Amino acid sequence: DTEVTQTPKHLVMGMTNKKSLKCEQHMGHRAMYWYKQKAKKPPELMFVYSYEKLSINESVPSRFSPECPNSSLLNLHLHALQPEDSALYLCASSQEGAGGGNQPQHFGDGTRLSIL
């Protein structure tokens, strides 16, 4: 079992739907990340939150909207997605945010998203 919990595990949605992915960690980590992973590819960084503030947005389309309600929670709001957005969405956390140096990132098991 991972210490980063993601829900739901699977999500199927139409292109006009609005849904949200949720990530939770209770390790006291202050940096949280969203990644997108296509089949047989490495994870690609989407967003980084450091001390609950968005610090990095890797030119992600606006149909993906991140939110960090508190230091333990990270959401990814989805709206009007395209079929090519089907992928495994991974959340990760690390002990320090920006300025804290390199710290190990711990990943959840992801949400498998399918866009019809």
Footprint on this chain of another protein (rule: CB under 8 A): 2, 4, 6, 31, 40-43, 45, 48, 56, 90, 92, 94, 96, 98-110, 112
DSSP 93: E
Name beta bridge partners: 94: 31
CB of 59 to another protein, least distance (A): 13
CB 31, min distance to another protein, A: 7
Tell me how far, at minimum, the Cβ of 80 lies from another protein, in Å: 26
User: Closer CB to another protein, residue 44 or residue 67?
Assistant: 44
Identity of the residue, 18 or 41, whose beta carbon is nearer to another protein in the bound complex:
41
Q: Which is nearer to another protein, 9 or 18 (CB)?
A: 9
Place of tokens 């389309």: 61
- The CB-of-48 to another protein minimum distance in angstroms stands at 7
Nearer to another protein, 4 or 76 (CB): 4
**Inter-residue long-range contacts of 35-39, CB under 8 Å, 24+ positions, other chains counted:** 35/89, 35/90, 35/91, 35/92, 35/107, 36/87, 36/88, 36/89, 36/90, 37/87, 37/88, 37/89, 37/90, 37/110, 38/87, 38/88
